[in-house]
Structures are given as structure tokens and as C-alpha cells.
Amino acid sequence: MASAPPPRIPELLPLTAIRGLAAWWVVLFHMRVLLAPWLPAGAIAFLAHGNLAVDLFFILSGFVMALNYGERVADGGARAYGDFLVRRLARIYPLHLLILAGFAGYALAAAAFGSARLEEQSWGYFGQSALLVQNWGLSGEARWNVPAWSISTEIAAYLLFPLILAALAPRRRPLWLLAAAALALGLCVQPLFRLLGYPYPNAVAQTGLFRCLLQFAIGMALYGLWLRLPRRAWLATALFAAAAASAAGFLLWNLPLVPLAWSALILALARVRRAGPLEAPALVWLGRVSYATYLSHYLLLTLFKFAFVAPGIPVPPALLALFLVATLAVSALLYHGFERPAQRRLVALWEGRSRRRRALAPA
């Protein structure tokens, strides 16, 4: 039935763990200016690439959506598609709205104490953010909870999920065709930035939507490859090597290989027999709370800067460490105390409504 829970697919633990590490790379990317006085230049240069983790999120999201919902949406029609959308909104929207409300509270408090002007906050963009359409070409810059721009583009990908699914048909297309599609889409991402005159991966308000949709589709194609590729040690090794070579090509020569690097890494981790530390419970848990980390850290950093950062004065390492610990603690509290309960509640309401609708339907 369309509203039945999706079939339980064993969690690919290394992919969960890598999502958590990527979320913390984004956190440190936004902190890098504060960390610069205390870390070597090479480390800061690495953190400056933390926004590339968002590309991993997009590809991984396409892979996971195809893995968990592709067959049901392809076979179940409009009702299954509606069920998919409700479940995705139940997963992402409550926490997004809570953090956005936190930003509104901060802006109102700052204005009340004379340290900010509300007109600078763009309440029109706030309304777009509340609807999760802020990165659909409606605004020229990202505001409020800046990382939520990627959640907005993910909503667009969810809406287009059946169309992308029909075009790629990852369960039916031959392996070579899916590989060619993933390769072609991956090689398009950075050239499109150049064509539009934006440096990759910046100008997210102008580029975020196509950046997400292309890489979401890549992830869906990877699902088809995952279904067909053998689970062999040599293949995982080759994929890890391809990921490393592609990353080096981007870092050394700015070759358009970032999506291919992430794609090879995802396939390798999904197909490897043992992923060592990436299957450790602590890292897997870090991945499970990663959405809360990703969505809340910018508000926490905004509050931290307001309280502790003064122009020209380095923030002591102890305070920076305290911020990181607080971010982890808040992530855990939000995940266990709000995100998951809200998701379960909304899904339960949806399933109850679906059962009542079926019971009233004519035989």
C-alpha cells in the first residue's frame, strides 16, 4: 500500500558516518577565520574547502532516496509519491522551522537592544525560508540560516524525484549507460559554474539549484551501479583510488572532478566489506545527528560571535573548543529531543489519516 512504511533496508553504516564527518567539515569551514590564529596554514586551507561537503550531501541524498524510495515511487503512482514527500518533509521541516524561529528571536532581541536593524535581515527572505523556496532563484544572496539554502534545493529535488527516476530508471538501465550518465553529469557541474561566470562552489543563491539537481541525479544513477557491481575488494580499492585521484586533480589543477571524487567514494564505501573506523558506533551516531549539526551550527556560531568575538582580538582556543563541544551537545539534544520525536509524530499522523482514508474508500 502506498502509505505503508518503506521496506527496511539495512543501513549502510560507512555512508552514515561519512555524512557526520562531512557535516563537521562544514562547521569548521564556517569557523576557519576564528581558527586561523591557532592552526597551520595547511589546515586552514583544508578547512576552506569545507563547502565541498555539500556536494557529497547532494550525491548521497540521491543515492539514499533511490535506495529507499525508488522502487515504491516508480511502482506506486501518485499515492506513493505523496507518501514519499510527506515522509521527507516530516524528516527535514520541523527542525528547519525551529532553527529559523531561533534566528527570528535573535534578530528581534538584537533590534530591541539596539545592535541590529530588522530591515537588514530581509523578512521577505525569511518568508521564503519558511516555505523552503529561498534558493529557487528568488533571491540574490543567502540570509538567515545560510546553510539551509541546500535544504531548499533538496526540496526541489524531492519534487522532481519521479521525473528523474523515470529518466534514469536505475533499476532497469544497463550498467554502462548509468555509468555514462553519472560521468556526464559529474563533468557538467563545474563547467556550468564557469559558463555562468561564478567561481565553484560559491554564489550559492545563483548556482545552488542546478548544483543540487545534477548531483542528486548522479546519486540516483549510483544506486543503479550499486545494484549491479560485484562486492569485491579489488573494486572497492579501485574506487577509493579513483576518488583520491579525482580529488587530487581538483586540488592541484582545478579539474572538474569533485562530483566524480565523491561518487567514487560513496560507491566504494557502499560496496566495501569492512570500513574499519567508519563503522564505529561513535562515528555512525555522529552521522545520525548530522542534520541537527548542519542546521543548528550557524545559529550557534552567530550567537557565539555576538558574545565572544571582538574585531582584531583572537578568540582563545579554550573558548573555541567549548563552542565545538556545545555544538555537539546541542546536536544530540535536538536530534533525540526534537527532530526524531517530531518526525515520528508527523509520520504517525500521516499513516493514521491514510488508514482512515482506505477504510472509507468504496470496496
Residue type for position 73: V
**All residues at 6 or more sequence positions from 112 whose CB lies less than 8 Å from its CB, including other chains:** none
Residue 11 has a pLDDT of 78
At 9, is the pLDDT very low, low, confident or very high (cuts 50, 70, 90)?
low
Nearest Cα neighbor of 168 from 221, 222, 226 is: 221
User: DSSP character for 147?
Assistant: G
**How many angstroms separate the CA atoms of 302 and 306, rounded?**
6
3-state secondary structure of 74: helix
**By percentage, how much of the chain surpasses pLDDT 90?**
77
Mean pLDDT in residue range 115-129: 79
Task: Please report, for the chain, how many H helices and E strands are present, in that order.
Answer: 14, 0
At 1, is the pLDDT very low, low, confident or very high (cuts 50, 70, 90)?
very low
Nearest Cα neighbor of 235 from 267, 202, 201, 274 is: 267
Three-state SS annotation for 82-98: HHHHHHHHHHHHHHHHH
At 167, is the pLDDT very low, low, confident or very high (cuts 50, 70, 90)?
very high
- pLDDT tens digit sequence for 249-295: 999 999 999 999 999 999 999 988 776 888 999 999 999 999 999 99
**How many angstroms separate the CA atoms of 5 and 88, rounded?**
12
Residue type for position 187: L
Is the pLDDT score of 39 beyond 80? yes
Query: What Cα–Cα distance (Å) separates residue 196 from each residue in 206, 258, 332?
Result: 9, 18, 40
Is the pLDDT score of 363 beyond 70? no
- pLDDT tens digit sequence for 293-331: 999 999 999 999 988 998 889 999 999 999 999 999 999
Q: Is 24 exposed, middle or buried (0-12, 13-18, 19+ CB in 10 A)?
A: buried
Residue 273 has a pLDDT of 72
DSSP for 246-282, written as a single string: HHHHHHHH--S-HHHHHHHHHHHHHH-S--GGGGSHH
- pLDDT tens digit sequence for 207-259: 999 999 999 999 999 999 999 988 888 898 999 999 999 999 999 999 999 99
* Residue with the three cell numbers 472509507: 360
**How many angstroms separate the CA atoms of 301 and 273, rounded?**
38
Residue 313 has a pLDDT of 92
Residue type for position 158: Y
Residue 2 has a pLDDT of 38
Count CB-CB contacts under 10 A for residue 311: 4
